[in-house]
Amino acid sequence: MAEPLGVAVIGCGTVGTGVVKILTEQSGRLEQRSGRSIQLRRVVVRDPAKARGVTLPSGILGTDVAAAVRDPSVHVVIELMGGTTTAKQVVLDALSAGKHVITANKALLADAGAEVFAAARAAERAVCFEAAVAGGVPIIRALAESLTANQVTSIQAILNGTSNFILTAMADGGRSYAEALVEAQKLGYAEADPTLDVDGSDAAHKLAVLAQIAFGVAARPHEIERQGIDHIEAMDIRFAGELGYTIKLLAEAWASPAAGRNSTVALHVAPVMVRKTDMLAQVRGAYNAIQVIGDVVGETLYQGPGAGMMPTASSVVADLIDLAVGRAQKSFAAAKLWSGADRGFSIEPSEKVRSRFYLRLLVRDQPGVLADVCRALADEHISISSVIQHEAREDHPDQLVPLVIMTHYAATGHFRAAVKMIDTHPALGGKAVSYPVDD
């Protein structure tokens, strides 16, 4: 039997604890699956006095990251501390010390993928990151290995469980955004500071990782246009429902044309109106789902728990078994991720993406307002598919009334120009609210 594989886990919080549990409680299963013993040799944390909810073998818990990374009995360093500064240094140090690296850190990959992967190639070591996108859902392997006969043509994904939980609570329970957020925090689905989840940043980091694998583009997080769910109003969720849609925070990549030397891919994260009958609309609560269309296979869907201790640990340990078997090293070398290899795609601004749009205005019930709005849309060559205007109450003739317009397909840039014009209308109470409609 091959020599045991020594492992250091750097960070024993939510994910690290799950990984340690599997390594300590399922060692027989891991040995059977990988053909060699996998031994936990070091666990590094900030505060060794903290209760961990897992029994660690004696003498392996410490605070010295450098010692763990340099330890000659460690062959694989699992970075589960989070953040992009110290974590990056830990990963680079581990690679230069000749260790393979496993990480669940999408922010690090989105931010410094090129640097980390160049260091790995220079050190002839592998970096594995199945857990970095969609937690327990094996989407990295699906894209990097199982779908390699395809050129991916689009990805539409629910990649942030917190946002999906909040949107589900708003749609099903009629809650406001603030009420749904409090519920998510109570149930442990949202952090005390939920900013990165609800403003679309987390989903953008994950989309950057998927776009690297599917299209070979190295999109930095700031290059991905993003809109979160933090300004969604209950009335838009309600109107969407009345029109037969539900609003989902989607991370999307659209290739055009699907293949060829001068193809482009548009990347964005936004609340999107999805038909209630669509597969993505059925994904509820804190779940993640990724719909990938490939030019050979057609439409595929991957769904499951996108975060949490054991689902995420499941992916981390799968990477560890792949390293123990030797599969991961081959896949890493073959995939050439973040290598600058030109796969023919460049990033296209979202302005050119064509979509239908939902437009909701609050207007004073005055003659000519609807005509002005329609003219602003027509000036940008946008035709309207339906209009719903509620009547003002007779006892409140000055009351603002919602005007909901669904457009036909239009380029995003043209639609935005029309909305800019509409926003200047004196009869509007507040700015227009709009979402792309996925049809």
Minimum CB distance to ligand NAP smaller for 12 or for 170: 12
Contact 294, 300 (CB under 8 A): yes
Q: Closest separation between CB of residue 191 and ligand NAP, Å? A: 9
Q: Which amino acid is at 87?
A: A
Minimum CB distance to ligand NAP smaller for 159 or for 418: 159
How far CA 126 is from CA of 23, 52, 129, 175, 229, in Å, comes to 20, 29, 10, 46, 36
Distance in angstroms (rounded) separating the CA atoms of residues 112 and 337: 12
Minimum CB distance to ligand NAP smaller for 82 or for 271: 82
- Range 320-353 burial, b when 16+ CB lie within 10 A, else e: bbbbbbebbbebbeebebbeeeeeebebbebeeb
How far CA 272 is from CA of 227, 356, 414, in Å, comes to 10, 10, 18
Q: Closest separation between CB of residue 175 and ligand NAP, Å? A: 23
Q: Closest separation between CB of residue 31 and ligand NAP, Å? A: 25
Q: What angle do CA 328, 329, 332 make, to 5 degrees?
A: 80
Site residues (CB under 6 A) for ligand NAP?
11-16, 44-47, 50, 65, 80-82, 86, 104-105, 131, 135, 307-308, 312
Q: What angle do CA 212, 214, 220 make, to 5 degrees?
A: 25
- According to DSSP, residue 428 is labeled B
Concerning whether 431 is annotated as a catalytic residue, the answer is: no
What counts of helices (H) and strands (E) characterise the chain? Answer: 15, 18
Minimum CB distance to ligand NAP smaller for 91 or for 419: 91
What pairing do the DSSP bridges indicate for beta strands 287-294 and 298-305?
antiparallel
Q: Closest separation between CB of residue 289 and ligand NAP, Å? A: 15
Radius of gyration of the chain (CA): 24
Minimum CB distance to ligand NAP smaller for 139 or for 240: 139
Residue-wise DSSP of 341-384: ---SEEEEPGGG-EEEEEEEEEEE--TTHHHHHHHHHHHTT--E
The residue number with the shortest CB distance to ligand NAP is 13
Picking from 145, 346, 146, the residue whose alpha carbon sits closest to that of residue 260 is 346
Q: Closest separation between CB of residue 426 and ligand NAP, Å? A: 46
The alpha helices in 192-345, defined as continuous H runs, are 195-198, 201-215, 234-242, 309-325, 327-335
Q: Closest separation between CB of residue 94 and ligand NAP, Å? A: 13
Distance in angstroms (rounded) separating the CA atoms of residues 431 and 429: 7
Annotated catalytic residue: which of 21, 106, 206, 248? 206
Q: Closest separation between CB of residue 190 and ligand NAP, Å? A: 12
Minimum CB distance to ligand NAP smaller for 24 or for 386: 24
Active site residues: 206
